[in-house]
Amino acid sequence: MITSSAPGKIFLFGEHAVVYGKTAIACAIDLRAHVTVEEAPTVQMKGPGGSVDLNPRKHPYIYSVVEKFKGFTDVTGVNIDIHSDIPVGSGLGSSAAVTIATIKALDAYYGTNLTLEDIAHMGHQVESEVQGRASPTDTFVSTFGGMVQIPDRKKLGFYDMLIVIGNTGKFSSTRKIVSNVAALKERHPIVIGQIMDTISAISETGIEFIQEGDFHTVGELMNINQGLLDSIGVGSKELSELVYASRKAGALGSKITGAGGGGCMIALCEHKNLSRVAHAIKRAGGDSFICRTSHVGVRIESK
């Protein structure tokens, strides 16, 4: 029996722009997906009611991972059991964390000796196939941990940041939201293209202030980024309510993280304001919890 785990992620800046090759800054957080694999007669998924054969419609990401392993190793029967503390469909990279942790567990189980680069690359292929379009961000962060700059695939090291996550509780499918933005960009290529360029500039400027530890300015740039995400149609009434409630309660900056349309927002806070911001988000109708950035990427937890 082998267990692996991989982290979820937040976007400090640059989601959606990164799909068009612009710069984004993302960071692993201390919420993780755990995947346990053990011998079984066929390739199965463990669920609440017991183990069932892997179903591509129910588990498209896991199915795609297994199909890739069939391309380079003898895939004998294996039972895959997933336990994740990452809210699903909430912009925190649950699909990437589950994908990367599954790749890592199967790599150890079948002895295929994949490098971290191989794992990140395979994970990106999986997300792209399942979602129709995906940047490498989520899977790269889940693989390497820490803070990263995409598309340059630069590992920026680790910056200890306290984040309040506000969850609207509204599921949003990354695939659908990303395709909506693509359609908008088709209709207004110059305008949306310039918005993506501006988001890219925010990411590139933001790196310097993160490295200097100037989190007041990082927060200001997050707020500007949030306005631009609203302009490409990925905001929502619920997300805006949580964003403005967190700012009123003292957040340095707050914005959507991930695909938007529902899901989560993040608020960058000083330690003294964490609980006040978390309570303000709850009063505004969201669920809130405090998380920390993490330097830990995908790893084997036990063999």
Ligand X SMILES: C[C@@](O)(CCO)CC(=O)[O-]
Rounded least distance, CB 142 to ligand X, Å: 11
Q: Which stretch binds ligand X (CB under 6 A): 43-51, 131-139, 198-206, 224-232?
A: 131-139
Contact positions with ligand ATP (CB under 6 A) in 128-157:
138
- Of 136, 145, 166, 258, the one binding ligand ATP (CB under 6 A) is 258
Whether 138 sits among the annotated catalytic residues: the reply is: yes
Q: Which of 30, 138, 160, 197 is catalytic?
A: 138
Q: Residue 134 annotated as binding?
A: no
Largest alpha-carbon pair distance within the chain?
Answer: 56
> Which partner in Mg ion, ligand X, ligand ATP, none is near 84 (CB below 5 to 8 A by kind)?
ligand ATP
Given the complex with ligand X, which of 44 and 203 has the nearer CB atom? 203
Q: Are the C-beta atoms of 32 and 7 separated by less than 8 Å? A: yes
Which is nearest to 37 in space by CA: 93, 99, 104?
A: 104
Alpha helices (runs of H) in 8-91, residue ranges in sequence order: 60-70
Per CB under 6 A, does 91 bind ligand ATP? yes
Distance of CA 54 to the CA centre of its chain: 24
Per CB under 6 A, does 61 bind ligand ATP? yes
How far is it, in rounded angstroms, from Cα 137 to Cα 141?
6
């920390």: which residue's tokens? 292
Per CB under 6 A, does 94 bind ligand ATP? yes
Per CB under 5 A, does 95 bind Mg ion? yes
Taken in order 165, 166, 170, 173, the sign of the CA dihedral is negative
Rounded least distance, CB 81 to ligand ATP, Å: 10
Beta strands in the chain (DSSP E): 2-13, 24-39, 43-47, 50-53, 78-84, 147-150, 154-157, 162-167, 253-256, 264-268, 287-292, 299-302
Q: Are the C-beta atoms of 226 and 91 separated by less than 8 Å? A: no
């830990």: which residue's tokens? 296
Q: Are the C-beta atoms of 25 and 11 separated by less than 8 Å? A: yes
Q: Are the C-beta atoms of 159 and 293 separated by less than 8 Å? A: yes
Given the complex with Mg ion, which of 72 and 171 has the nearer CB atom? 171
Q: Which two tokens stand for residue 216?
A: 């007041």
Q: Are the C-beta atoms of 106 and 160 separated by less than 8 Å? A: no
Name residue 265's beta-bridge partners: 166, 256
Q: Residue 114 annotated as binding?
A: no
> Which partner in Mg ion, ligand X, ligand ATP, none is near 134 (CB below 5 to 8 A by kind)?
ligand X
Per CB under 6 A, does 12 bind ligand ATP? no
Rounded least distance, CB 275 to ligand ATP, Å: 26
How far is it, in rounded angstroms, from Cα 68 to Cα 106?
11
Taken in order 212, 218, 221, 225, the sign of the CA dihedral is positive
Q: Which stretch binds ligand ATP (CB under 6 A): 21-29, 91-99, 141-149, 202-210?
A: 91-99
Q: Residue 95 annotated as binding?
A: yes
Per CB under 6 A, does 134 bind ligand X? yes
Rounded least distance, CB 17 to ligand X, Å: 8
- Rg (alpha carbons) of the chain, rounded to whole number: 19
> Which partner in ligand ATP, Mg ion, ligand X, none is near 137 (CB below 5 to 8 A by kind)?
ligand X
User: Which residues contact ligand X by CB under 6 A?
Assistant: 15-16, 18-19, 91, 93, 134-135, 137-138, 174, 178, 258-259
Binding residues for ATP: 87-97
Binding site for Mg ion (CB under 5 A): 95, 174
- Kindly list the residues in this chain that would bind ligand ATP in the complex (CB under 6 A): 59-61, 82, 84, 88-95, 98, 138, 173-174, 258-259
Q: Which residues are catalytic?
A: 138
